Amino acid sequence: MGPHPSHRAALPALKPVKRWEIHVERKLAAIGLMMVGSLLATSACSSSKQASTAATDSATQAATSAGTASTPPANSSAPASGAAAAGSGALIGVDYPRSDTDFWNAYIRYEPQEAAKVGVTMKTTNSQNDVAKLAANVQTLVSEGVKGIVMAPQDTAAIAPTLQQLNSKNIPVVSIDTRPDTGNVYMVVRADNKAYGTNACQFLGTKLGGKHSVVMLEGDVASINGRDRTDAFASCMKQNFPGIKVHAEPSKWDAATAASQLATVLEQDNDVRGVYMESSFALAGTLQDLQSKGLLVPPTDPKHVFVVSNDGISEELKDIQAGKIDATVSQPADLYAYYGLYYVNAAIQGKTFSPGPTDHNSNIIQVRPGVLEDQLSAPLVTADGGTYGGISSLKPNDPSLWGNG
């Protein structure tokens, strides 16, 4: 399957994988079949199936190493119909991590249409932010015969035993949005979450002139995303804006907790002029807290509290245009859906990848031996589309943003 239709004019495709070894094995099997005749037909079919399984296992291991062969998404000249046919309608298990945020609900809505583009079929489950339920869902999907699994584990440490079980069964895994702390996966598809924290820091630090206080409503540090965003924001503030006081609140992606924490800080510190929400989970509560304190005022008002979010949902883009919040980082929900399925299908087809630039404006990195990560683009969005701390941004009405789709 080629790149997502809206991301085709990009970098040239890298060198495709050489698969002559598999071709030779299949030719030998065919010759053996002709020699023994119909008497051993059943045995020959079994051998062919074993060869196919071995090829998939080999591809999975190679794709998550620092090997030299690579097959980036097909170039723009590749016909979509041919790529879909190559998918052979493989049955993919997809576990949705939660359905209590606008971002993940958007991801869920994108998934069926992206499956059609990739040329696969799906079995789906929803683990509702519970790693034990995710483990049980995986067992169910395996029992239903899926050939690969796409998941987004919210607890990136506790998922390790499940990954080990899938690896032992030669079932490739693609992790969306989060990166497991240990264990191998075929590919991680996410954005640079450290950049999220840095972008928010640069925007707020610039707007506040290096003064006043800000509140950071953290995600769960049990997640690599929560750790990356929190650490990057705190580090950037310490290095670039030491005059800004940071109230770091462990909200753990929970809206009620975040609203309570922000309300408490606003009571204790009347110099708060900035809020960094590590996800749109805190959007409604933050606006309510600011409204109750008389701080939900236009950006031109000296009392205005500058608010930065993460996700890029439609509501955030509308709130930026209305002057209620000031910036967000747009996580690509549509591309998460597409490339998760693309990569797991590639694993089943025996393709491999290497670190380096892709043809869809991203970069594959090796985060540790056995784990590659495709870091998709996640732009900063601001009211004026300006540049902050050397970081360029898009305006909230930019048609390239998925939240405007």
Q: Could you read off the pLDDT of 30-76 as tens digits, one per residue?
A: 333 333 333 333 333 343 334 334 433 433 343 433 333 333 443 32
CA dist., res. 307 & res. 318, Å (int): 14
Please provide the average confidence, as pLDDT, over all residues in the chain.
83
Residue 10 has pLDDT above 90, yes or no: no
Looking at this protein, which amino acid is placed at residue 350? G
The 3-state DSSP class for residue 214 equals: strand
Compute φ and ψ for 352, nearest 5 degrees: -130, 165
For residue 152, give the nearest of 317, 339, 2 by alpha carbon: 339
Residue 29 has pLDDT above 60, yes or no: no
Residue percentage of the chain with pLDDT more than 70: 78
- Pick the range with the lowest mean pLDDT from 16-25, 160-169, 334-343, 381-390: 16-25
Looking at this protein, which amino acid is placed at residue 175? S
- Pick the range with the lowest mean pLDDT from 35-44, 89-98, 167-176, 310-319: 35-44
Kindly state the average pLDDT of the residues 254-273.
Answer: 97
- Looking at residue 223, its pLDDT comes to 86
Kindly state the average pLDDT of the residues 105-125.
Answer: 97
Q: Domains (ranges, CATH) in the chain?
A: 5-185+332-376 (3.40.50.2300), 193-331+380-404 (3.40.50.2300)
- Tokens representing 145 are 């015969």
Query: Could you tell me which residue, 37 or 167, shows the higher pLDDT?
Result: 167
Task: Give ∠ CA 399-297-385 in degrees, rounded to 5.
Answer: 30
Predicted confidence band at 87 (pLDDT cuts at 50, 70, 90)?
low
Q: What angle do helix axes 333-348 and 102-118 make, rounded to 10 degrees?
A: 40
- Looking at residue 88, its pLDDT comes to 56
DSSP 212: S
Kindly list the distances between the CA atom of residue 377 and the CA atoms of 192, 196, 339, 361, in Å, as whole numbers in the listed order.
8, 11, 12, 7
Q: Could you read off the pLDDT of 209-253 as tens digits, one per residue?
A: 999 999 999 999 888 999 999 999 999 999 999 999 999 999 999
CA dist., res. 320 & res. 252, Å (int): 24
- Looking at residue 191, its pLDDT comes to 95
- Looking at residue 370, its pLDDT comes to 83
pTM to 2 decimal places: 0.77
